[in-house]
Amino acid sequence: MIPLVDASEFKSSDIPKCPGVYLYRDEKGEILYIGKAKNLRSRVKSYFSNSDKPAKTRWLVQLIRSIDLVLVNNEVEALLLENKLIKQHTPKYNINLKDAKTYAYIALTREPYPRIMTSRKVSRKLESFGPYTDGYTRQDLQRLVVRVFKLRTCRKMPKRACLNFHIGLCSAPCVGNVTLEQYEGQVEQARSFLGGDYEQTIKLLLAQMQDASQRLQYERALELRNQIASIRLLTQRQIVDNERRFDQDVLVFRRVGEKVLAVQMGVRRGVLLGKKEFSVDLQPQVEQEFLKAFYGTNQIPREILLNEPCWESHAEKDALEEFLCAKRGGAVSLTVPRRGDKLGLVRLAEKNLESTLDEDSALVDLQNALNLSVVPHVIECFDISNLGQEHVVSGMVRFADAKPDRKNYRKFKIKTVAGQDDFASMAEVVKRRYKRLQEEQVPLPDLVVVDGGPGQVAAAKSALTALGLQVPLIGLAKENEEIYLPDEATPLQFDKNSRMILFLRKVRDETHRFSLGYNLKRREMKLREEFGKK
């Protein structure tokens, strides 16, 4: 272990030039960050010697009080050890893609008569397909599999045939309507279909339809025709390339200020499954860190298409591929395509990234228009809601990276103000909110927005001043969509249809909806209490 009192004590000569893993610890000995390097001295030195670092990295360096080193034989061993240690310790400053685990899979249970179900995680007890980022597409696909292949959906095998059998959605293995071999055939067809082999399924159903027609079983033939039409309708939403028989992922990155935006799109046997969007803090080798974090919890395909290299040398690329191969148990290639269909897939992912950039561009516009020191990634907005003299409440919503952060919405019942006084009520809730954040030592937002004009802004400012806080603050007036600044009588006016104003209106309207909902709920509770007394 290399102890440090502060960053100025760092000496690169204390660190060897060999491959390994480094662990940064704080004054309590807790792990802050885990990284790997082909040359430990060079990599660790870059944190302490380079002054032009992202904000998150600067803050990390200030907290480092000791460095642990684990030496290994080569860069692949370093990658594998780093991955294992990150999973074990989940350090605060490593990329953590929790949201990536919430996408659902379609799964078949590993039972004699497998059932089809939805699962939020991969398990050895399940054969999983996906994940599917579009919930509607997944539900349509699962319903289609049940209708076409008649698989059971019941948790336990019933003693008699259920409704699904009587409406033609299950072959009822529970009562012996099909043999084990017949049911296994249904499952195998469903497995092929879920694996993306739609054309083979259509050929099979066409043959069955023709056979039913020749046997004069016209109702059965009509049912099969409708199933074929359903499959074709579903696959029209996909990009299909029947000549490609292996899985791919498309992963594109774009740096915007102190953030890196990423879009991942999965292609399974030529079928485009959907997309996932991510926004992570800028840090050294962030794209490579993202790759390792993402494929630590997601299925690894045979080929990963990128819009730009995330390695500094061929040796580093080879090490990354070998690391992914070891985790997948098969070949994996990282490719930056320059032409053809693969480049077309990358361009498609970049097109999806542009829609995300519109929201981030609104934040950059907001920074420039208000002359803020940082891009306002975290915005909190307040609204006072009152219907008459009673039930005066407030709602606060938080937007993180231009998206609602609903788990951090807050409701306030006004405690110190009698009657209808919007200004005093605003001062109360702003003070309560940020006094609590002070006590809990939680970072403050980058921008505070209040629904209203100069009166509401002045009230909010008085509350912040009383707490000794300096947080960027504005008010958005409804009538002309003007922006009011503290101590400024004349509002700022912008194009009402600009990205910035449209985004601020979205934040303000969401706050109004949230606070009004709380007001109506309290009124309903009051009416119930009065009715109960009668």
pLDDT digits (tens, 9 = 90+) for 198-209: 777 788 888 888
Report the C-alpha gap between 383 and 324 in whole angstroms. Answer: 49
Looking at this protein, which amino acid is placed at residue 387? L
Which contiguous run of DSSP H or E holds residue 119?
A: strand 116-119
Q: Are strands 66-71 and 104-109 parallel, antiparallel or unpaired?
A: unpaired
Residue 489 to residue 72: CA distance in whole angstroms: 64
pLDDT of residue 99: 46
pLDDT score for 533: 56
> Following DSSP, what letter does each residue of 463-511 receive, concatenated?
HHHHTT----EEEEETTTTEEE-TT-SSPB---TTSHHHHHHHHHHHHH
Pairing, β 482-484 against β 473-477:
antiparallel
* The CATH fold of domain 376-531: Nucleotidyltransferase; domain 5 (3.30.420)
Q: pLDDT digit string (tens) for 84-95?
A: 888 888 898 888
Q: Do the domains 248-356 and 2-94 match in fold?
A: no
pLDDT score of 418 more than 80? no
Q: What is the pLDDT of residue 305?
A: 93
Q: 17 pLDDT exceeds 70?
A: yes
**In this predicted model, what pLDDT tens digit does every residue of 330-379 receive, in sequence order?**
889 999 999 888 888 888 888 777 766 666 678 888 888 898 877 888 99
- The pTM is what? 0.48
Q: What is the 3 state secondary structure string of 319-370?
A: HHHHHHHHHHCCCCEEECCCCHHHHHHHHHHHHHHHHHHHHHHHHHHHHHHH
Confidence class for position 240, pLDDT limits 50, 70, 90: very low
Strand order in the sheet with 116-119: 116-119, 104-109, 126-132
- Looking at residue 344, what is its pLDDT? 84
* Mean pLDDT for the stretch of residues 400-415: 89
CATH architecture, domain defined by 248-356: 2-Layer Sandwich (3.30)
Domain 2-94, architecture per CATH: 3-Layer(aba) Sandwich (3.40)
* pLDDT at residue 315 tops 70: yes
pLDDT digits 0-9 by tens, 96-125: 765 433 567 888 999 889 999 988 777 778
Q: Which of 231-235, 255-259, 515-519 has the lowest mean pLDDT?
A: 231-235
Nearest Cα to 242, choosing from 300, 301, 202, 190?
202
The answer on pLDDT for 170 being more than 60 is: yes
The C-alpha atoms of residue 134 and residue 136 are separated, in whole angstroms, by 6
pLDDT at 135: 63
What ranges do the domains of the chain cover?
2-94, 101-235, 248-356, 376-531
> What's the pLDDT tens digit per position in 132-152?
655 666 777 788 888 888 899
* Per-residue pLDDT at 471: 92
- At 430-469, the pLDDT tens digits run 999 999 998 888 889 999 999 999 999 999 999 999 999 9
For residues 29 and 67, what is the distance between their CA atoms, to the nearest angstrom?
10
Those residues with Cβ within 8 angstroms of residue 389's Cβ, 6 or more apart along the chain or in another chain: 419, 420
What's the pLDDT band for 388 if we cut at 50, 70, 90? low
Dihedral sign (CA 381, 382, 385, 391) = positive
Highest mean pLDDT among 28-37, 151-160, 250-259, 295-304: 28-37
Query: Which has the closest alpha carbon to 452: 427, 429, 477?
Result: 477
